[in-house]
Structure 1
Amino acid sequence: MRNWLKAAAAATLAATMLTGCSFGGNDGQGEKTPTSLKVMYYDESSFYQEYGMLFSALYPEIELQVVSTQSIYQSSGDGEEVDIEKRKQEFLEKEKPDILMLEMNEYEKMAQDGKLIDLNSYITKDKFDVEGLVPGMVDYMKELGGGQLYGLPSGFSSQVLFYNKDLFDKYNIAYPTDQMSWNDVIQLARQFPVEGSKEERVYGLRVGYSGDLNQMSTMIANAEGLNYVNPTTKEMTINTAGWKNAVQTAYDALKSDALYSEDPNNGMMGGTSYEDYLLRNPFISNRLAMTIDGSWFIRELEEAKNNVKDPSKLVQNWDIVTMPVSAQMPDTSSSTYYNNIFSIAKDSTNADAAWKFISYISGEDFARVKSKVAYNNGFSIHTKYIKDEEGRNFAAFYKLKPAKQLYDYTDFDKLPTQFSMMFYNYMNEEFMAIQNDEKTIDEALETLQVKGEELLAQESMTQEEIDEMWQKQMEEEQAKMQEAAGEAAAE
């Protein structure tokens, strides 16, 4: 990828020089004015690979200086609570970056605090085309900005529902459609037959990698805007009617045998070739009607087409629709996210040059070049470059807006450092007990509520203690896998 970007930058620069185009500012005499821009980003190397190399080739008169934000989020190592907001303010005061790379909740907060420059005047002056951008994106950014546009994303990511049209045709079942609810999708999955061995039968739906109760319940709960903890108030919120409904929906779906769940031994069985690896995915091997995945799965489908010798083993006719949604919020999805929002700091002395960077990164030329790099990192914000040569419904990737985030994710840093890891393990244990009919949903959620409250009352562990806990968990998981592999070999 690095070599490709270098080549693309060189080619773009050469084309610019050949056509005699002039970029950048000047002093009125045709001379370019040197400008230095400070860019707030998490890592200098990744910034240049993703953005800086192409921009610098086109605008050599603008010097980019990357100030890394990694120090903001580094643990103190002694278990003490880290005040991310305080660190961030100290960082901004010290470095004074012109361009800020923000996530959605950071963008919303800084816009509300009056720390960003409104981009509308620049857009009007330069006649920047917003019509070709992802529908609803600019309005959403204005909504977060209190009515003004203070930044533009450089891309977005989302998940969708892939479906096998041939299997739907074979069993005379209607295709899924955009904005179906979770209940509707599950009912669709249950129309497929459940007979046959696990290795050969057809399945209706796969949710996530493992497809277990924990993962599916969480995805349904997220669609409804539910979380298991309120990090701002440090209160557990898992023992609620909403969560009970989400878990019950997932439980009923799993018990119907319509859903595919990953065999933990799947990676240790069968052949060892790349073709064998690809065919282990039941959607690729034509045994799964629907699966939820991201844009990266398109690359895997293409890899299978190019590497599996017998085409009859592969899914041939597939398409996509939007991710299942909440019936109460059919236009939003918790799996849609606008990435790397670039804004201009209110006190920047180089706002014009900063806008030049943002307008290029958000513009069609950059989108055209970046569209050549598959779909591994999501999509451009220009719908013109989100298309499929075979006419598939790629609009499903951008039809849903991001769900409004209920909490600032930095508030999670205020929880004990061990909370997320340990509570996830508790969820796995309790949800597996539900799945195995060893506990009722009410019993498991009540237990999780209590265990979560106990974790929230603890002091944060030191980094050394966290590392020891990780190591112990990894050893236990490895022992379980070896035991399962031995049992599978014996059978």
Structure 2
Amino acid sequence: MNQRRISLMVVTALTASALAACGGAGGSQGGQAAGPEAKDNPPAASKPVNTGPREITMYTAGGTIDEKAFDSMYGDAIRKKFPDVTVKFIPNTKGSTLPDLIAAGTTIDIIFDSIGYAESFRNYGIHMDMTPYIKASGLDLNQFEQTAIEFQRKIGNGQIHSLPVWTASAGLFYNKDLFDKFGVGYPKDNMTWSEILEIAKKLTRKDGDIQYVGYVTAAGSQANTNQLGLKYVDSKTGKAQIDNEDWTKFMQSIVPFFQISGMTWTAENTTVAAMRAMFEKDRTAAMYTNYSGGTPPADMNWDVVKVPSYEQAPGVGPQSYPAYLSMTTLSKNKELAFNVIHYLVSKEYQLQNTKAGRATVLNDKEIIKTYGESMAKFKGKNITAMFPEKRAPIGDYTAADTAAASQFSSAFTKIILNQKDINTALREANEAANKAIEEIKQKNAK
């Protein structure tokens, strides 16, 4: 599965299980608040605007989200805040893709989707700079987790085309029952990957007929949100760079977990789904890093600590993987569209959304503490561990990066199956990535 484009598959999963996906990012050019009161009382969020029909149409490119999930996330909250507004939802299904809708002249006021959609959305030419609306409303961009805002400035050459509405939380989850069974001390916050490796070695063992493993992960997600700020593609040359020294060292930090004596890895048990099942269903994996907002089942005796850091980047957490809201040039009522977005990024909505298990994009410790509050399984858990105090800057989410990311994941599998050594696997993956990138360029040139 392409870990780069979790898209709204993340949203659907998060709806079912704290809305976790495969499907939790902030300087304020043009976005300074008019005054201190602007933070707590966003002027545009509740002001009625009489410049068109009181109707808002929202669209997502994630075809897996249905009307019920949409209402749970956005629709019901918008209708309650704006009772005179008609809210319509268009999912990405056959006949209603974005090109279909544009060709048909369909009005789309707001698009919401994950960061993986950032490039393709702009390629349709219906994006618009929200900076004038941000300035007029007094919305303070400093209140957001800043890497999510900086990413927008980067891809928009200073413009803000989208605002983050929630992000994927991330953590090192562990099954307390397995630790207790084998008499191993629980992991703690602020550990390094080297320390977690030593714990994993103690938990990779066979007990009777059951083979236990200390740690599993979705390697693609771990690489995509890597804490070292590594990028798959050189932005200057447009060429893949996944066989360089930095990526080699990164691969060397993951592979040892899968070379611990005792566990045999196969093509079947190295898939993302299989490894997650080891932790959540089979309960044979003691630790699991989830970068997409998911949490263990309610019937597991689990807890969570911060994602371990690297010695060369102490205290730096994974990159954010936010979902964004974007106004479009197709909207006939842009003021109302912005007002709706403004409400959805306000403290009022972020608080209720975070309680429902969708991680806030605001740097508000009081809101962060309420994460999953409305769900019994979060009670007593180390909630704040899933919100890094410092995040690595978000990487590039271009088609070229997606192609290179796919090859990196493939290389990881070949390495842990002992089909290739690290240097050979990454070199071949780099060559395959460059070939795919060239094909993308040729396709776009037509």
TM-score, scaled to structure 1: 0.57
Identity across matched positions, percent? 18
CA contact (8 A) 2:128 2:327 kept: no
2:340 is aligned with what amino acid?
A: F
Q: Equivalents in 1 of 2:225, 2:73: separation in Å? A: 34
1:443 CA drift (Å): 3.2
Task: Choose which of 168, 184, 209 in structure 1 pairs with 2:195.
Answer: 184
Which residue of the other structure, out of 374, 385, 391, is the alignment partner of 2:370? 385
Structure 2 match to 1:239: 243
Match of 2:54 in 1: 35
Counterparts in 2 of 1:179 and 1:439: CA distance versus 1, 3 Å: same
Residue 257 of structure 2 aligns with an amino acid whose one-letter code is A
Distance 2:330 2:199 in 1: 54
Letter in structure 2 aligned against 1:356: N
Report the structure, 1 or 2, having the larger helix content: 1
Aligned to 2:394: 405
CA gap of 1:102–1:402, structure 2 versus 1, over 3 A, is farther
2: CA distance, partners of 1:329 / 1:283: 30
Give the Cα separation in 1 of the matches to 2:334 and 2:240.
44
Q: How does 1:40-79 map to 2 (within 5 A)?
A: 41-42=60-61, 46=67, 47=70, 50-56=73-79, 58-64=81-87
How far off its partner does 1:63 sit?
Answer: 3.7
Deviation at 1:58, TM superposition (A): 4.7
What's the offset of the Cα at 1:119?
2.7
Instruction: Say if 1:344 and 1:355, in contact at 8 Å, map to a contact too.
Output: yes
8 Å Cα contact 2:171-2:307 kept in structure 1: yes
How far residue 321 of structure 1 moved from its aligned partner, in angstroms, is 0.9
- Aligned letter for 2:368? T
**Residue of 281, 289, 294 corresponding to 2:286:** 289
Return closer, same or farther for 1:408/1:348 CA change in 2, 3 Å cut-off: same
Matching of residues 49-448 of structure 1 within 5 Å: 50-56=73-79, 58-64=81-87, 98-101=109-112, 104=115, 106=118, 114-119=129-134, 121-123=136-138, 137-144=144-151, 152-165=163-176, 167-168=178-179, 173-190=184-201, 192=202, 194-197=204-207, 199-208=209-218, 215=219, 219=223, 222-230=226-234, 233-257=237-261, 264=268, 281-282=278-279, 287-293=284-290, 298=295, 301-302=297-298, 305=299, 316=301, 318-330=302-314, 332-334=316-318, 336-339=320-323, 341-344=324-327, 350=333, 352-363=335-346, 366=349, 375=357, 378-381=358-361, 382-383=367-368, 385-387=370-372, 390-400=379-389, 403-412=392-401, 423=407, 427=411, 430-432=414-416, 435-436=417-418, 439-448=420-429
Matched AA of 1:293: N
Length-normalised TM-score, structure 2 = 0.61
Q: Deviations over 1:183-213 (max 9, x none)?
A: 23212322x15553584354322223xxxxx
The Cα shift of 1:26 comes to 8.0
- Structure (1 or 2) with the larger CA radius of gyration: 1
How far apart are the structure 1 equivalents of 2:433 and 2:275? 39
CA offsets, 1:404-444, max 9 Å, x none? 2332424558x7xxx877x4796367425xx43x6443333
Cα distance between partner residues in 1 of 2:159 and 2:440: 41
How big is the shift at 1:25? 2.8
Q: Is the 8 A contact 1:154 1:342 kept in 2?
A: yes
C-alpha distance 195-325 of structure 1, shift in aligned 2 (>3 A):
closer
Give me the whole-angstrom Cα distance separating, in 1, the residues matched to 2:325 and 2:224: 31
Q: Conserved in 2, the CA contact under 8 Å of 1:371 and 1:385?
A: yes
SS in 1 for 2:246: helix
Letter in 1 for 2:79: S
Q: Matches of 1:455 and 1:170 in 2, distance apart?
A: 47
Q: Which runs of 5+ in 1 are unaligned?
A: 6-22, 75-83, 209-214, 268-276, 306-314, 463-491
Distance 1:221 1:347, change over 3 A: closer
Post-superposition Cα deviations, 1:271-329, rounded to whole Å, max 9, x if no partner, equal: xxxxxx9997356666543222367753x522xx3xxxxxxxxx53x310122334444
The one-letter amino acid of 1:391's match is G
| Aligned residues between the structures | 376
